Amino acid sequence: MSVETITPAEARQRQQRGVLLVDVREPHEHATGHATDALCVSRTTVETDPIGVLPDRGAEVMLICQAGSRSLRCAEVLVAAGYRQVVSVEGGTARWMAEGLPVTVPEGDRDFYDRYSRHLRLPEVGEAGQRKLQAARVAVVGAGGLGSPAAFYLAAAGVGHLMLADDDMVDRSNLQRQILHTEARVGVPKVESARIALTALNPSIAVEVLPQRITSQNVEALIADADVVLDGGDNFPVRYLLNDACIKLAKPLVYGAVHRFEGQVSVFDAGRQRGVAPCYRCLFPEPPPPEAAPNCAEAGVLGVLPGVIGMLQATEVLKLLLGIGEPLTGRLLHFDALAMRFRETRLTPDPDCPVCRAGLPFPGYIDYQAFCSAH
């Protein structure tokens, strides 16, 4: 027996006559808005316990989903179970909204439901996950090539509190790749320029800035309350310092680096997983000599490359905050822009690591500038 389909306009007319409209989408979809006066119950619940939801098999029932296919299949299940007056709404909620029919958004912040509607439709995120992001704190060290795209996407994703540290000023040569900054803000501190851009993108987040170079004296104040730390500093003293501080304070560190046409990304989580996850020192016990790793000013960098690496870093941050997917812990992802290839290297913890080996008390901070200069 085929199931009758009706238009959203006809469904609204029947609804006003007292016919029940049931939205069979998932809860995370209901959170983005639903047809006014609809009963919101997931398809799974309707199909597994139809009597609990619809006790009268003879009553008229209309089913609606997002586009029309799920409600049609659910209606077929109900018909097979003995329901005699079940119809499906063509085009679903998307068409209902497009035709300007009344919609109800759950109580709360309308901006939240509008802004993050695409996240709310993802079962892996949903409203609960988005609230996690809203409550999260991320420390971003560096507001340049890597910090710019990473912070931009974290702000867009709704990470509620971003802490940015950088002691540099915006220079015209930055604008080729550092997308947080503009011509009008040349000469402005990068963290202030970043704050302007990020709050313009998402006024609901808090952006805390530290216009200082990261040192052993201030690093813990920056990252102590952070859920995740993102390394956008792109220099070796900062990388070693952040690594050691994150081990001491048990914070996950999302690492990124770029050089000419190539970049790297990884997650170092040895502070929370001693002896299981490697740290930056396990990968690089000693920094390479300066001639082997010149900075962007000396060697140049393809402008879009930091964007690729910074977005990958932001992706890892979001995964860590949401507790989804497989983070790059124990893996180094290498990107070659010229060949457009990714390759992955497995990383293991160094049992003799001077900082992260299991059972080792934190040895204390060192003079990282001298350490890197000596090698």
Alpha-carbon span 375 to 360, nearest angstrom: 24
Number of domains in the chain: 2
Q: What is the pLDDT of residues 208-252, one digit of tens each?
A: 999 999 999 999 999 999 999 999 987 899 999 999 999 999 999
Is residue 114 in a domain? Answer: no
Instruction: Indicate the residue among 63, 85, 107 that finishes a domain.
Output: 107
133 and 30 inside one domain: no
With cut-offs at 50, 70 and 90, classify the pLDDT of residue 68.
Answer: very high
Strands (E), 53-169: 61-64, 86-89, 103-104, 137-141, 161-165
Domain housing 56 = 4-107
Is residue 10 in a domain? Answer: yes
143 and 237 inside one domain: yes
Report the amino acid identity of residue 239.
Answer: R
The mean pLDDT value for 267-275 works out to: 95
Q: Which CATH number fits the domain that encloses residue 88?
A: 3.40.250.10
Residue 315 has pLDDT above 80, yes or no: yes
What is the per-residue pLDDT for 300? Answer: 87
Q: Reduced to 3 states, what is the DSSP secondary structure of residue 333?
A: strand
Q: What is the pLDDT of residues 4-53, one digit of tens each?
A: 999 999 999 999 999 999 999 988 788 878 999 999 999 999 999 999 99
Quote the tokens at residue 283: 């990968």
Residue 322 has pLDDT above 60, yes or no: yes
Provide, rounded to the nearest whole percent, the portion of the chain with pLDDT above 90.
84
Radius of gyration of the chain (CA): 26
Question: Which has the closest alpha carbon to 48: 11, 12, 81?
Answer: 81
Alpha-carbon span 194 to 183, nearest angstrom: 13
Q: Which CATH number fits the domain that encloses residue 135?
A: 3.40.50.720
Listed as own residue / partner, the contacts of 72-81 with beta carbons closer than 8 Å and 24 or more positions apart are 72/3, 72/5, 73/43, 74/24, 74/43, 74/46, 74/47, 75/3, 76/3, 77/46, 77/47, 77/50, 78/46, 78/47, 78/50, 78/54, 79/1, 79/3, 81/50, 81/57
Let me know: does 287 contact 366? Beta carbons within 8 Å. Answer: no
182 and 63 inside one domain: no
What is the per-residue pLDDT for 109? Answer: 72
The values of phi and psi at residue 243, to 5°, are -55, -50
151 and 225 inside one domain: yes
Q: What is the pTM of this model?
A: 0.83
Q: What is the pLDDT of residues 338-358, one digit of tens each?
A: 999 999 999 999 999 999 998
Provide, rounded to the nearest whole percent, the portion of the chain with pLDDT above 70.
97
Is residue 112 in a domain? Answer: no
